[in-house]
């Protein structure tokens, strides 16, 4: 277990820069999730931490030691790969204890560790099999087992669940989380799935185009996205956005004429071009709401219902109670309370008020 | 897929007959006395005389040829496989500058196009200088050279099939570069090693033009021995047939063992 | 629980893994080739174990005009490569598609068909020499059943080259078959199924789906085979040694004679360089042609 410090790490291939000065402090025992769309640099960052790729600039510090010049094998890390990368010519047991055999640990110690890990992951009956004889879920467990057998300072996960089907993914998500609570080892987890990020992370790092957009706990990101990108990326269905100008009366006038209320703190913003964001659950159907729409689609999910409405600024998603059943094609007005409107600068895309 | 039309059936049957027929005819003739061959009889009393003559007569060098071929083919295969696999891995895995990797690969291609016979002359001169003319060592070296391009291409195709993540997992697991290669990558490409090994061996076993010119009586290999039966002043037809059969057996045995690996290797090579 | 830092062997792994093969190439292929270039501009003779070398490029050039075997050798080689390779491609392709549609014994059929590649070319030469024999060969026996022949397959200048091409076809159709069969088997089955659902008959599937998808594999098979065809030496050496006269003299046989029978190393080297340039330029042209086709 160790704290990890990422200091001014940047990566470029020739003139093409894929990551710009990333700074991140990870505490001992923390579960950090790096999330972002593909190509945002999250995997590159993870691979730099692992030592599989070199940073063009900056330092990686693990447990107080600068590890830039260490080979991956010298960093005392374990990594779970998206494709699992099990060794096809070795039985499950040999896959699990490969690291300990390489380090020439005494036999009883190896056996004990394998036994513990196999027990934790329910692999006891599979030890004699070859990877090709396992199902996808079992392979995933072996990949996890290979990481925990050796008790490394740091766990790295590179989209470990994306090759599983939806049901198994939800189950393994909980299991990895539980495992982390038991072992308590520092973990860095890369995913493109914001639900995975929200459910697993102590803290989430949202990345976009090689930059860190925001770092924070899942609820911090949800409640106070610091950029337009984070606001759009976190939450499903996504936030609804309106472009408009802040008037002196603390209201936003959208181009199509709707008038959205803002909290009094926005008085300073008068005259500014902004983007207003409203989550589906903060919109409600009222007779004199400022947003005029027409119902196009209703999705009943069981616990809740989402309705999609065509408004002046495109499609709007509204969360409704489970029994709500607006008629398709009917005209509906939506309203929102001032404290639920997120305001972003349309130029810099940054959050304007807290 | 669908069923064969009558035309396709005839075509297939005819092809199979054309392929297998000559083997059977030669096999038949190898069991004949010379006189039966001359008369072209189809019904005859089988005899092993030709085989005895080829393998055990005092005039015949064939057992010696066989031994030389076994030595040359085995050693050149092992050496070509070792050097070729290492070279292919290095080119595949490590970031060589374009000049190095591109230069090597371009040279392999060019070298592969050059008719072997054009190089026999220079080899002859070099080996005379080095004292390797008319030695098995010299022959092994030439066969290694000829087999390297194919080995390198084939192994590069197989290395490219190994997921990069597997090697990275090995590195994270504590392997040095050499260990990642020997403990993880190499076991995974065993099919490739077999394919390249089989092709190398068969090639070396069959190679004639170099052996003809760089060996003499004591160092001659099987193909040179076979040719000898056809070249002597009095052509020994029955021995020629028997020697051809004996010369063919090892390659066929090895291919039976390695066929599916070779097929896979050719697929990897040609589909890309 | 730190690991040892990487040792010297590990740090230099990229280099020592590459080096041996490179050394072999430099010593046994690059150097000989440069040697060949040197020789081609020198007169170079062995007399009593002593070499006599003189720089004299014109001498070897003059041989080009004086060499009566050169023209037939080049013409024969071009005919041989063109006819043999075309036949092999056509038959091999038809065979690959046919066998892929066989439902039973597919593996056995494949194994039988590829047998000829495994036979030492020299043995192929001697086998076919027996079969072509004027007095008792199986072909003349076969003809005599119909009251025809006998034909002097290898001894008659009218038939000799065709007979040699026939042997080459027998030898190498399996090679083309093997590459194309693997390619046919590797075709995505869903594409073929989609075409059949779209209403294509088997012949149409072949014409509009299979053949276009096989193009890259056909190009590879053609290139490989053409390279090998230019090098053909062993079988022909055994069958005819280039005879009768120059009827089956191929460029490789001619080279061999110049080098080792006439001992004319300088001219032999110049001829070798010419052959290399021929092969390389042929391949560059054919590659341009196949790639140009791809874009169209």
Report the C-alpha gap between A311 and A336 in whole angstroms.
15
Chains that touch A (3 or more CB pairs under 8 A): B, C
pLDDT, mean of residues B61-84: 94
CB contacts, 8 Å: A85 with chain B:
163, 165-166, 168-169
| Average pLDDT in chain B | 87
The pLDDT, as a whole number, for residue C24 is: 93
Q: Is the peptide bond prior to A125 cis by the omega test (within 30 degrees of 0)?
A: no
Q: Could you tell me which residues are beta bridge partners of residue A257?
A: none
The pLDDT, as a whole number, for residue C61 is: 79
Residue of chain A with shortest Cα separation from B168: A52
The pLDDT, as a whole number, for residue C294 is: 45
Instruction: Identify whether B184 is part of a domain.
Output: yes
Cβ-based neighbour number of residue B56 at 10 Å: 10
- C-alpha distance from B141 to closest chain C C-alpha (Å): 8
The pLDDT, as a whole number, for residue C296 is: 34
Alpha carbon distances (Å) from B64 to B139, B159, B209, B219: 15, 39, 19, 8
| Closest CA relative to residue B241, chosen from B103, B72, B109, B50 | B50
Is the CB of residue B196 less than 8 Å from the CB of residue B81?
A: yes
The pLDDT, as a whole number, for residue C49 is: 63
- Six-digit token pair at A199? 């459910």
Count of positions (residues) in chain B: 272
| Closest CA relative to residue B256, chosen from B207, B203, B198 | B198
Say whether residue A88 is in contact with chain B using an 8 A CB cutoff: yes
The pLDDT, as a whole number, for residue C162 is: 93
| Closest CA relative to residue C239, chosen from C224, C228, C227, C249 | C249
Which DSSP string do the residues of A90-116 spell out, in sequence order?
A: S-HHHHHHHHHHHTT--HHHHHHHHHH
Which residue stretches of chain A have pLDDT < 70? 1, 354
Closest Cβ opposite residue C112 in set B20, B104, B223: B20
Q: In what helix (H) or strand (E) does residue A245 lie, and over which residues does it extend?
A: strand A240-246
pLDDT, mean of residues B7-14: 90
The pLDDT, as a whole number, for residue C291 is: 65
- The predicted-structure confidence for B107-160, as pLDDT tens digits, reads as follows 988 888 888 888 888 898 889 888 888 899 999 999 999 999 999 999 998 999
CB contacts, 8 Å: C136 with chain B:
37-40
Domains of chain C and CATH, by start: 75-250 (1.10.3720.10)
Is the CB of residue B152 less than 8 Å from the CB of residue B196?
A: no
* CATH number for the domain formed by residue range(s) A240-345: 2.40.50.140
Q: In what helix (H) or strand (E) does residue C221 lie, and over which residues does it extend?
A: helix C211-231
Choice among B79-88, B226-235, C17-26 with the minimum mean pLDDT? B226-235
Phi and psi for C135 in degrees, rounded to 5?
-85, -40
Is the CB of residue A150 less than 8 Å from the CB of residue A78?
A: yes
Interface mutation vs chain A, best among C3, C5, C7, most A CBs within 10 Å: C3
- Six-digit token pair at C93? 């392709």
Interface mutation vs chain B, best among C122, C251, C260, most B CBs within 10 Å: C122
Closest Cβ opposite residue B237 in set C101, C130, C230: C130
Dihedral sign computed on CA atoms, order B32, B37, B43, B45: negative
Report the C-alpha gap between A46 and A79 in whole angstroms.
10
Instruction: Identify whether B9 is part of a domain.
Output: no
CB contacts, 8 Å: B168 with chain A:
50, 52, 72, 79, 81, 85
Is the CB of residue A220 less than 8 Å from the CB of residue A38?
A: no
* Residue found under tokens 């052509």: B235
Burial code of A241-275, b = ≥16 C-beta within 10 A, e = fewer? bbebbbeeebbbbbeeebebbbeeebeebeebebb
CB contacts, 8 Å: B202 with chain C:
118
Say whether residue A71 is in contact with chain B using an 8 A CB cutoff: yes
Instruction: Identify whether B174 is part of a domain.
Output: yes
CB contacts, 8 Å: A73 with chain C:
3
Alpha carbon distances (Å) from B195 to B71, B77, C172, C182: 20, 11, 19, 15
Q: Is the peptide bond prior to A237 cis by the omega test (within 30 degrees of 0)?
A: yes
Q: Is A271 left (phi over 0), alpha (psi -120 to 50) or beta?
A: left
- Six-digit token pair at C184? 């046919």
- Contact map slice: C 84-143 vs B, CB within 8 A: 91, 94-95, 98-103, 109, 111-116, 118-123, 125-131, 133, 135-136, 138, 141
Q: Do C130 and B251 touch (CB under 8 A)?
A: no
- C-alpha distance from C55 to closest chain B C-alpha (Å): 17
Cα B209–B214–B218 angle (5° rounding)?
110
pLDDT tens for each residue of chain C, 296 residues long: 444 556 888 889 999 999 999 999 999 999 999 988 888 888 766 666 666 677 777 777 778 778 888 889 999 999 999 999 999 999 999 999 999 888 888 888 888 898 898 888 988 988 898 888 888 888 888 888 887 778 888 888 888 999 999 999 999 999 899 889 888 888 888 888 888 888 888 888 888 888 888 888 888 888 888 888 988 888 898 888 887 888 889 988 998 888 888 878 788 888 888 888 888 888 788 777 766 544 43
pLDDT, mean of residues B67-88: 96
Burial (CB < 10 A; 0-12, 13-18, 19+), residue B170, is: buried
Report the C-alpha gap between A262 and C23 in whole angstroms.
77
Q: In what helix (H) or strand (E) does residue A154 lie, and over which residues does it extend?
A: strand A154-158
- The predicted-structure confidence for B204-220, as pLDDT tens digits, reads as follows 999 999 999 898 888 99
CB contacts, 8 Å: A52 with chain B:
168, 171-172
CB contacts, 8 Å: A73 with chain B:
171-176
Ranges in chain A annotated CATH 2.40.50.140? 240-345
User: Count of domains in chain B?
Assistant: 1
Q: Do C39 and B111 touch (CB under 8 A)?
A: no
Per 3-state DSSP, chain B is made up of helix, strand and coil in percentages (nearest 5) of 80, 0, 20
- Six-digit token pair at C30? 């690059």
Q: What is the CATH number of the domain that holds B157?
A: 1.10.3720.10
Range of the domain at B87: 51-271
| Closest CA relative to residue B155, chosen from B263, B271, B269, B256 | B269
Q: Do B170 and A71 touch (CB under 8 A)?
A: no
Please enumerate in sequence order all residues whose Cβ is within 8 A of that of C139, keeping only pairs 6 or more positions apart, or say none.
C131, C132, C149, C151, C153
Instruction: Identify whether B72 is part of a domain.
Output: yes
Helix C121-131 × helix B6-30 angle, to 10°: 90
The pLDDT, as a whole number, for residue A131 is: 92
Report the C-alpha gap between C242 and C251 in whole angstroms.
10
For residue B69, pLDDT beyond 80: yes
Closest Cβ opposite residue A99 in set B165, B174, B187: B174
CB contacts, 8 Å: B170 with chain A:
87, 98
The pLDDT, as a whole number, for residue B1 is: 43
User: Which CATH superfamily includes the segment(s) A4-233?
Assistant: P-loop containing nucleotide triphosphate hydrolases (3.40.50.300)
Ranges in chain A annotated CATH 3.40.50.300? 4-233
Phi and psi for C189 in degrees, rounded to 5?
-70, -25
């Amino acid at each position: 277990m160790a704290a990890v410090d990422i200091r001014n790490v940047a990566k470029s291939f020739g003139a093409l820069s894929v990551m710009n000065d990333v700074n991140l402090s990870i505490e001992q025992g923390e579960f950090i999730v790096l999330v972002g769309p593909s190509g945002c640099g999250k995997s590159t960052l993870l691979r730099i931490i692992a030592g599989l790729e070199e940073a063009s600039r900056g330092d990686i510090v693990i447990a107080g030691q600068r590890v830039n010049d260490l080979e991956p094998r010298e960093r005392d890390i374990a990594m779970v790969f998206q494709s699992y990368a099990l060794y096809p010519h070795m039985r499950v047991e040999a896959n699990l204890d490969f690291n300990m055999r390489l380090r020439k640990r005494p036999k009883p110690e190896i056996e004990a560790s394998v036994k513990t890990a196999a027990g934790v992951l329910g692999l006891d009956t599979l030890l004699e099999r070859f990877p090709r004889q396992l199902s996808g879920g079992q392979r995933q467990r072996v990949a996890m087992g290979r990481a925990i057998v050796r008790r490394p300072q740091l766990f790295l996960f590179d989209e470990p669940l994306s090759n599983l089907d939806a049901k198994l993914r939800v189950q393994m998500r909980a299991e990895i989380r539980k495992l982390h609570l038991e072992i308590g080892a520092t973990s860095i987890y890369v995913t493109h799935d914001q639900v995975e990020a929200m459910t697993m992370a102590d803290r989430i790092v949202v990345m976009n185009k090689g930059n860190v957009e925001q770092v924070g706990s899942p609820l911090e990101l949800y409640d106070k996205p610091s950029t337009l990108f984070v606001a759009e990326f976190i939450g499903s269905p996504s936030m609804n956005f309106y472009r408009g100008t802040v008037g002196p009366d603390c209201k936003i006038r959208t181009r199509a004429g709707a008038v959205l209320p803002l909290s009094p703190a926005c008085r300073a913003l008068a005259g500014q071009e902004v983007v207003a964001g409203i989550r589906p659950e903060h919109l409600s159907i009222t007779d004199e709401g400022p947003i005029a729409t027409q119902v196009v689609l209703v999705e009943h999910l069981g616990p809740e219902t989402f309705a999609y409405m065509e408004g002046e600024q495109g499609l709007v998603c509204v969360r409704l109670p489970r029994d709500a059943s607006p008629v398709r094609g009917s005209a509906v007005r939506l309203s929102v309370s001032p404290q639920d409107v997120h305001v972003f600068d349309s130029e810099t895309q940054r959050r304007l008020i807290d | 897929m669908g069923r064969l039309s009558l035309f396709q059936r005839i075509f297939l049957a005819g092809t199979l007959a054309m392929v297998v027929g000559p083997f059977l005819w030669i096999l038949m003739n190898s069991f004949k006395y010379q006189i039966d061959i001359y008369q072209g009889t189809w019904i005859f009393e089988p005899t092993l005389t030709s085989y005895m003559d080829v393998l055990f007569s005092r005039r015949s060098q064939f057992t010696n040829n066989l031994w030389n071929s076994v030595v040359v083919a085995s050693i050149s295969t092992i050496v070509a496989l070792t050097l070729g696999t290492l070279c292919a891995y290095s080119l595949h895995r490590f970031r060589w500058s374009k000049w190095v990797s591109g230069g090597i690969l371009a040279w392999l291609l060019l070298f592969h196009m050059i008719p072997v016979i054009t190089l026999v002359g220079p080899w002859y001169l070099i080996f005379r200088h080095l004292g390797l003319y008319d030695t098995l060592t010299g022959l092994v070296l030439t066969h290694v050279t000829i087999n390297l391009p194919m080995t390198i291409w084939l192994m590069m195709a197989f290395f490219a099939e190994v997921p990069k993540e597997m090697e990275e997992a090995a590195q994270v697991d504590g392997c040095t570069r050499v260990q990642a290669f020997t403990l993880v990558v190499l076991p995974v490409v065993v099919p490739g090693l077999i394919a390249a090994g089989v092709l190398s061996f068969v090639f070396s076993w069959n190679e004639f033009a170099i052996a003809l010119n760089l060996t003499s009586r004591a160092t001659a290999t099987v193909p040179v021995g076979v040719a000898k039966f056809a070249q002597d002043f009095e052509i020994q037809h029955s021995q020629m047939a028997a020697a051809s059969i004996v010369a063919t057996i090892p390659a066929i045995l090895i291919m039976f063992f390695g066929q599916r690996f070779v097929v896979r290797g050719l697929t990897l090579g040609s589909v890309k | 629980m730190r690991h040892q830092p990487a040792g010297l062997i590990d740090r230099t792994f990229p280099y020592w893994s590459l080096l041996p093969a490179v050394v072999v190439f430099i010593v046994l292929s690059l150097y000989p080739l440069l040697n060949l270039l040197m020789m081609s501009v020198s007169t170079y003779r062995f007399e009593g174990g002593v070499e006599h070398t003189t720089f004299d490029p014109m001498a070897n050039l003059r041989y080009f005009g004086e060499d009566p075997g050169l023209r037939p050798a080049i013409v024969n080689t071009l005919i041989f490569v063109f006819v043999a390779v075309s036949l092999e491609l056509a038959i091999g392709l038809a065979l690959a598609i046919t066998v892929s549609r066989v439902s039973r014994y597919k593996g056995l059929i494949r194994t039988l068909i590829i047998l000829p590649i495994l036979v030492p070319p020299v043995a192929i030469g001697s086998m076919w020499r027996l079969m072509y024999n004027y007095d008792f060969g199986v072909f003349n026996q076969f003809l005599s059943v119909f009251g025809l022949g006998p034909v002097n397959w290898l001894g008659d200048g009218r038939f000799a080259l065709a007979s040699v091409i026939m042997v080459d076809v027998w030898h190498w159709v399996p090679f083309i078959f093997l590459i194309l069969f693997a390619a046919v088997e590797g075709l995505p089955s869903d594409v073929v199924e989609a075409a059949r659902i779209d209403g294509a008959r088997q012949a149409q599937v072949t014409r509009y789906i299979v053949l276009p998808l096989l193009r890259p594999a056909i190009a590879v098979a053609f290139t490989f085979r053409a390279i090998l065809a230019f090098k053909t030496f062993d079988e022909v050496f055994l069958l005819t040694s280039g005879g009768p006269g120059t009827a089956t003299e191929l460029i490789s046989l001619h080279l061999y004679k110049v080098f080792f029978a006439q001992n004319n190393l300088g001219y032999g080297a110049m001829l070798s360089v010419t052959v290399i340039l021929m092969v390389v330029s042929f391949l560059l042209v054919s590659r341009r042609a196949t790639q140009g086709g791809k874009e169209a």
